[in-house]
């Protein structure tokens, strides 16, 4: 199963080019986009405009988590749709960018997990699940797209969120709010 390309709204004409290590959130069309949007709503994010996230790794490529597993794709696959980039919004050193890029490339092939969405909802609803739930979501043996972004940054020593959330407890809507 592949993710449906993002909806095609027009982008502002003068956006800075993404650098290796930058991440983006995008809108998704189709059934998967609607399901993620509903999941984010049930998770407490409201009806956010962004349902997918990925990391730019340079050379015109990105790494993203997909239902078939994390994969390397051409950045041009998202050129026609609206993307909200971290470029200029999340300050990074050259060393951090290299570490984020290396981390992203190391996760290529990591399986996707729809169960992470259920675990995220259980945590947001304060259902008693305790350490087993934390270990499940924090695991890098399976990741959703926003967890992959958050984990790559954590691997590079960059913490995107200061609210002490469990590793990987981040949705595309959380990343979008961080950038807005």
Out of 32-41, 53-62, 127-136, 154-163, least confident range:
32-41
Alpha carbon 32 to chain centroid distance?
15
With beta carbons less than 8 A apart as the criterion, state whether 26 and 81 touch: yes
With cut-offs at 50, 70 and 90, classify the pLDDT of residue 11: very low
Q: What are phi and psi of 136, to 5 degrees?
A: -60, -50
Per-residue exposure over 44-73, b if at least 16 CB sit within 10 Å of its own CB, e if not = ebeebbbbbbbbbbbeebbbbbbeeebbeb
Domains and CATH numbers, the chain: 23-179 (3.90.1720)
Instruction: Give the integer Cα–Cα distance in Å for 51 and 29.
Output: 9
Instruction: Give the integer Cα–Cα distance in Å for 174 and 20.
Output: 21
| pTM given for the model | 0.81
Strands (DSSP E) found in the chain? 23-26, 52-58, 61-64, 71-74, 83-85
């Amino acid at each position: 199963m592949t993710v449906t390309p993002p909806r095609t709204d027009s982008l502002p004409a003068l956006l800075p080019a993404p650098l290796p290590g930058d991440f983006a959130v995008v809108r998704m069309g189709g059934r998967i986009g609607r399901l993620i949007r509903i999941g984010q709503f049930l998770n407490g994010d409201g009806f956010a405009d962004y349902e997918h996230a990925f990391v730019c790794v340079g050379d015109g490529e990105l790494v993203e988590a997909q239902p078939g597993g994390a994969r390397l794709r051409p950045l041009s696959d998202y050129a026609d749709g609206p993307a909200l980039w971290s470029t200029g919004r999340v300050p990074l050193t050259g060393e951090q960018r290299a570490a984020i890029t290396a981390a992203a490339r190391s996760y290529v092939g990591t399986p996707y997990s729809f169960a992470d969405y259920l675990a995220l909802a259980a945590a947001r609803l304060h259902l008693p699940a305790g350490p087993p739930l934390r270990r499940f979501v924090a695991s890098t043996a399976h990741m959703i797209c926003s967890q992959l972004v958050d984990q790559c940054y954590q691997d590079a020593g960059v913490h995107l969120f200061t609210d002490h959330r469990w590793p990987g407890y981040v949705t595309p809507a959380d990343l979008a709010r961080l950038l807005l």
